[in-house]
Amino acid sequence: MRNRIQLSDHFTYGRLLRFVLPSIVMMIFTSVYGVVDGLFVSNFAGKTAFASINLIWPLPMIFGSAGFMLGTGGCAIVAKTLGEGKSAKANEYFSLLIYVTAAVGVLFAVIGFFITGPVAKLIGADEEQLKYCVVYGRILFSALPFFMLQSAFQEFMVTAEKPTLGLFFTVAAGVTNIIFDFVFVGLLHGGVIGAGFATALSQFVGGVVPVLYFARRNDSLLHLTKTHFSRRVLTNASLNGSSELMTNISLSLVNMLYNYQLMRLAGEDGVAAYGVIMYVNFIFVSSFIGYSVGSAPVVSYNYGANTTDELKNVFKKSMVIIAVSGIAMTVLAVMLSGVLSKIFVGYDAGLYEMTRHGFIIYSLSFLVLGFNIFGSSFFTALGNGPVSALISFLRTLLFEIISVLLLPVFFGTDGVWMAIVVSETAALIITAAFIIQQRKKYNYM
pLDDT tier, 322 (very low <50, low <70, confident <90, very high otherwise): very high
Residue 255 lies in a domain: yes
Report the sign of the C-alpha dihedral through residues 384, 440, 327, 422, in that order: positive
Residue 5 lies in a domain: no
The domain of 351 spans 13-442
Number of domains in the chain: 1
320 Cβ contact partners less than 8 Å away, ≥ 6 residues apart: 13
pLDDT digits (tens, 9 = 90+) for 106-118: 999 999 999 999 9
At 260, phi and psi to the nearest 5?
-65, -45
Task: Taking residues 340-354, report their average pLDDT.
Answer: 85
Q: Residue 105 has what pLDDT?
A: 95
CA atoms of 33 and 206, how far apart (whole Å): 12
Task: Taking residues 340-362, report their average pLDDT.
Answer: 88
Residue 364 lies in a domain: yes
Residue 272 lies in a domain: yes
pLDDT above 50 (res 1): no
pLDDT digits (tens, 9 = 90+) for 262-291: 878 888 788 888 888 887 888 888 899 889
Rounded percentage of the chain residues whose pLDDT exceeds 90: 34
Q: Residue 273 has what pLDDT?
A: 86
pTM of the full structure: 0.71
- ∠ CA 272-273-278, nearest 5°, is 95
Task: Taking residues 303-311, report their average pLDDT.
Answer: 86
Provide the strand spans (E) within 269-374. none
Residue 319 lies in a domain: yes
Candidates 77, 27, 50, 68; CA nearest to 281 is: 27
Candidates 74, 62, 64, 81; CA nearest to 98 is: 74
Residue 3 lies in a domain: no
Residue 2 lies in a domain: no
pLDDT digits (tens, 9 = 90+) for 7-21: 778 888 988 888 888
pLDDT tier, 3 (very low <50, low <70, confident <90, very high otherwise): low
Residue 1 lies in a domain: no
Highest mean pLDDT among 5-9, 292-296, 360-364: 360-364
Q: Residue 72 has what pLDDT?
A: 81
Q: Residue 243 has what pLDDT?
A: 65
pLDDT above 90 (res 81): no
